[in-house]
Amino acid sequence: MNITIVGATGAVGIELIKLLGLRKFPLSSLTLLASERSAGRRLDTPVGKVEIKAFDSKYFENQDIVFFATSGEHALEYAPKAVEAGAVVIDNSSAFRLDPNVPLVVPEVNPQAVKQHKGIIANPNCSTIQMVVALYPLHQYSKIKRIIVSTYQAVSGAGQDAIQELNQQLHDHIHDKEIKVKAFTKQIAFNVIPHIDVFQDNGYTKEEMKMVNETWKIFDDSSIKITANCVRVPVIRAHSEAINIETENKITESKARELLSKVDSIKVVDERVNAGYPTPIDASEKMDTYVGRIREDISCDNGLSLWVVADQLWKGAALNAIQIAELLNTEHFRKNH
């Protein structure tokens, strides 16, 4: 397939290139687009060294799939142009996620939604993806009535500048220098910030409401009651989530382990001993979604608590996008494209 990555030098773009190789995705050609300042650089890719081109929509011609790893505003403007040129767009921004005409896809949960695309497929929010991967096997067994989730989100979810700020603040702290804040609302080193994205009228942040609205769309069930509290933590890579659910019928902890263990992309790490649970370091640059700390909720009859960790640059972004592309890479798609 002929593939283009828009935003090839960003955090997600770099991981897309890496994962196309690791997943052995069938590439005929790979076009890398970025800003003017990156143009001319050459990157190692699964098809050899590829020179980055300054973004121009003319490069959408004769492409099968265009990955957008840029801002929502940029995607809104240019994704339709890629579709007009004959490509299918897999967009990593929030631009199209809640558009009723655009499927929002997590391949382990709703792969059938890919068939409904009209040229654009949306990749969900990173924190939503790992949550629904872990909860869907349980939801299939007994409908989930309520979800309470608190996230512990790595700084890389806010981009390269955020990673650099954490590293710089750690350096400045050690050397007794003034700590400067730019990428976040408060110092992130040795701190946690209960604020991701902009505040909404209901007091929740946009990130928190993404988890609500996107889960409803992916599960095709807006009757589930969901509340989220999204927190930034001084971790470089991989998000963690403490999730509590209430189901219509009781799911015992042993049944939950059994259901989760049957899913190829879920790794259950749940031993009640020191280090018998997953952490962000364990999940970094791994394709699986890790689940641990599985226990029945002692505060309600049909409650269950679990701890979910995944690499948000991989499963929460680039990997999920490539898995969507793998769904498109079928005889049916090739015949009709």
The model's pLDDT over 177-232, given as tens digits with 9 standing for 90+, comes to 999 999 999 999 999 999 999 999 999 999 999 999 999 999 999 999 999 999 99
- Catalytic-labelled residue, pool 74, 117, 126, 175: 126
Query: So where are the chain's domains?
Result: 2-124+317-336, 128-311
- To which residue do tokens 């999204």 refer? 230
Q: What is the pLDDT of residues 239-278, one digit of tens each?
A: 999 999 999 999 999 999 999 999 999 999 999 999 999 9
Write the DSSP assignment of 54-89 as a string of letters. Answer: E--GGGGTT-SEEEE-S-HHHHHHHHHHHHHTTPEE
Confidence of residue 333 (pLDDT cuts 50, 70, 90): low
- Catalytic-labelled residue, pool 117, 139, 230, 239: 239
Count of all residues that appear for the chain in the document:
337
Catalytic status, residue 239: yes
pTM, full prediction: 0.95
Catalytic status, residue 332: no
Tokens linked to 17? 């290139």
Residues of the chain with pLDDT > 90: what percent?
96
**CATH class of the domain comprising 2-124+317-336:** alpha beta
CB 139 within 8 A of CB 158: no
Domain 128-311 fold is Dihydrodipicolinate Reductase; domain 2 (3.30.360)
Mutual angle of helices 126-141 and 253-261, in 10-degree steps: 110
Rounded distance between C-alpha atoms, residue 117 and residue 65, angstroms: 13
> Considering only CA atoms, which of 310, 4, 308, 295 is closest in space to residue 134?
308
